[in-house]
């Protein structure tokens, strides 16, 4: 059992460690709130007064003594109020508070699983007591009502021979109440309603908490919609057309109302699932940050099972740093795609950060035209992997290589969806930075999805690269990106303009024989309009104007947003415009040869 001695603010010593320890996570949410609302200095003073080394709470997986925890909670109750200890609020899902929840979130699907985990793994949070759980309401649906019982350890825990510390025990009881009440927030649900039935601080031998929370979904929306629609519509029609007509109208309206209620319930469940995904990914990211990322991914994972959940199948894609496998969820049976780092990239902090960034962003940017991330986890050796929805189809790059140019009618449909994906990302302050045909996936169901946010930049976050360093694929980089200047949403608009030009004409708007020359030409060369480059193709003038506006050198001359570009595409007259070209109509040979040279040079530069 570990033990240490710290010097308090008064110069005396405070014993910390041994059998009377609690996880530092008991204080973390409160300290995060204080740091945000009051600054670093009050937090430092509070920890010094409690005799706690700041490093002990910077890592929420560390331990502090119950005596020190009580001192800290007293100071917190004075500064934030006693109620703040009972209600942790959104701070429970702050990334820096999630480091202790990695194992719990891996094994949880519903809030009830979290409460069971607390009871079954009490030693992960406390060395002075145990938890027991009683499922009050048992049914086929996940429970929403439990009774949690906390019992102090039989040997007396932190008995110091002094008179009972009633106030300190009450504060610890409040902290336990705050923890139990806040768990549903991980699923995006409101706080649980917690009733403290029996309390140690009031003479009881144990603390009993009755906990109730709302379900992720229920039949209430369906029933309410059906009953409400039947009553309103049925009674209205009955007054005008009689009881029979009113009954029929009511039944029809009830069906519509039930459908509406069902969709509302499903929407609520989806929002909850997405919130849980965000919390789980943030928890794993924090856990990796606290432990450090190590390990090398095996060269081939075919036939293995990752995380006891995903059976790896054939390899469906690979690049210089990563591999994508088709996989199957062993329990649910649905197909997924698993992306892992390989070789030296599995040890490279920058590449790991990009993979985590990709997962984080694609969870937060909720849109049907952005590939959906389902999970982020790590292998026993520490290597991380991302699980995404399995897409059936091919990339735009593959389509251009195999089929040649895209007819205007089809191109407008594709790039309208890309605009919607970009608009959703830009509203979250996310700039993709590496739009290219290989990152646009065309599904068999006609849906287009934007992939690979690994190089993206959060406007509110620090860039993964140093200022002045160019990051992206040179053929599609905007002038400001070519010189390493600040990127913004209209940087993506330029790249989209290059893609549209290439897809519609079979040629890149700007070509060169070297990367350096290409970056220079993107800053000063004005591309030839598409209708002049390919007068043999039926490209509508309005579409040509929209694409050329995207390719403006000055950033403020491009469309203001992806939404505005979508509007420009929506008014392109498509009557009589082909949706597809005959098989013999392909791109010209010279342009792709130049583009291929640049791509090969860019890949060599990135490897170097």
Give dist(CA 280, CA 187) in Å, integer: 10
Collect contacts of 223-227 with beta carbons under 8 A, ≥24 apart.
Answer: 223/258, 223/261, 224/261, 225/257, 225/258, 225/259, 225/260, 225/261, 225/262, 225/264, 226/254, 226/255, 226/257, 226/258, 226/261, 227/254, 227/257
Give dist(CA 150, CA 173) in Å, integer: 9
- Cα–Cα distances (Å) from 221 to 111, 143, 242, 274, in that order, read 20, 18, 29, 20
From the centroid of its chain, how far is CA 310?
Answer: 20
CB 574 within 8 A of CB 540: yes
E-strand spans in 253-372? Answer: 305-306, 310-318, 322-329, 335-341
Give dist(CA 116, CA 180) in Å, integer: 11
Find the catalytic residue in 174, 265, 375, 434: 434
Alpha helices in 382-488 (DSSP H): 396-403, 408-427, 479-482
Give dist(CA 608, CA 603) in Å, integer: 9
Residue with tokens 């013999």: 584
Q: Which residues pair with 132 in a beta bridge?
A: 149
608 annotated active-site? no
Which residues touch 94 (CB under 8 Å, ≥6 apart)?
29, 32
> Sheet holding 305-306: strands in order across?
305-306, 310-318, 322-329, 335-341, 384-389, 373-378
Alpha helices in 121-242 (DSSP H): 166-182, 220-241
Residues with a catalytic annotation lie at 434
């Amino acid at each position: 059992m570990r033990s240490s001695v710290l010097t308090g603010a008064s110069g005396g010593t405070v014993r910390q460690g041994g059998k009377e320890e609690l996880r530092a996570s008991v204080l973390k949410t409160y300290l995060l709130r204080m740091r945000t609302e009051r600054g670093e200095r009050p937090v430092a003073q509070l920890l010094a007064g409690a005799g706690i080394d700041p490093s002990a709470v910077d890592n929420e997986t560390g331990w502090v003594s119950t005596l020190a925890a009580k001192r800290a909670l007293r100071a917190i109750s004075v500064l934030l109020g006693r109620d703040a200890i009972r209600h942790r609020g959104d701070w429970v899902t702050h990334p820096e508070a999630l480091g202790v929840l990695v194992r719990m979130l891996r094994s949880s699907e519903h809030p009830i699983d979290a409460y069971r985990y607390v009871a079954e793994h009490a030693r992960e949070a406390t060395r002075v007591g145990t938890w027991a759980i009683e499922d009050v309401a048992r049914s086929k649906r996940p429970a929403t009502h439990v009774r949690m019982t906390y019992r102090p350890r039989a040997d007396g825990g932190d008995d110091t021979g002094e008179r009972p510390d009633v106030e300190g025990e009450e504060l610890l009881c409040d902290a336990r109440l705050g923890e139990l009440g806040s768990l549903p927030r991980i699923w995006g649900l409101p706080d649980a309603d917690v009733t403290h039935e029996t309390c140690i601080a009031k003479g009881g031998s144990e603390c009993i908490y009755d906990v109730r929370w709302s379900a992720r979904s229920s039949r209430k929306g369906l029933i309410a919609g059906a009953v409400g629609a039947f009553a309103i519509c049925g009674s209205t029609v009955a007054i005008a057309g009689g009881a029979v007509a009113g009954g029929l109208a009511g039944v029809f309206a009830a069906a519509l109302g039930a459908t509406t209620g069902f969709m509302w319930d499903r929407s609520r469940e989806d929002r909850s699932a997405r919130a849980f995904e965000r919390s789980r990914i943030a928890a794993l990211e924090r856990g990796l940050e606290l432990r450090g990322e190590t390990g090398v991914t095996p060269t081939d994972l075919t036939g293995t099972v990752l995380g006891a959940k995903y059976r790896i199948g054939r390899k469906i894609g690979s690049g210089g740093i990563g591999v994508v496998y088709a996989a199957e969820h062993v329990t649910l049976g649905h197909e997924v795609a698993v992306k892992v780092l390989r070789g030296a990239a599995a040890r490279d902090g920058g590449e790991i950060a990009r993979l985590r960034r990709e997962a984080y962003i694609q969870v937060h940017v909720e849109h049907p035209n952005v590939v959906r991330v389902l999970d982020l986890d790590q292998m026993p050796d520490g290597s991380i992997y991302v699980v995404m929805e399995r897409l059936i189809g091919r990339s735009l790059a593959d389509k251009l290589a195999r089929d040649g140019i895209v007819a205007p009618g089809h191109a407008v449909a594709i790039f309208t969806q890309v605009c919607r994906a970009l608009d959703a990302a830009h509203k979250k302050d996310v700039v993709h930075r590496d739009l290219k045909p290989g990152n646009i996936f065309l599904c068999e169901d006609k849906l287009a999805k934007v992939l690979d946010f690994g190089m993206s930049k959060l406007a509110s976050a620090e860039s993964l690269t140093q200022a002045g360093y160019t990051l992206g694929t040179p053929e599609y980089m905007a002038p400001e990106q070519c010189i390493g200047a600040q990127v913004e949403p209209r940087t993506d608009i330029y790249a989209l303009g290059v893609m549209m030009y290439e897809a519609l004409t079979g040629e890149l708007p700007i070509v060169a024989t070297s990367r350096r020359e290409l970056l220079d030409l993107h800053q000063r060369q004005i591309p030839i309009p598409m209708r002049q480059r390919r007068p043999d193709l039926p490209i509508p003038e309005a579409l040509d104007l929209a694409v050329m506006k995207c390719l403006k050198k000055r950033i403020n001359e491009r469309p203001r947003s992806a939404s505005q570009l979508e509007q420009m595409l929506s008014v392109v007259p498509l009557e009589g415009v082909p949706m597809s070209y005959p098989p013999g109509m392909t791109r010209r040979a010279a342009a792709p040869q130049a583009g291929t040279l640049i791509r090969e040079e860019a890949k060599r530069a990135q490897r170097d």
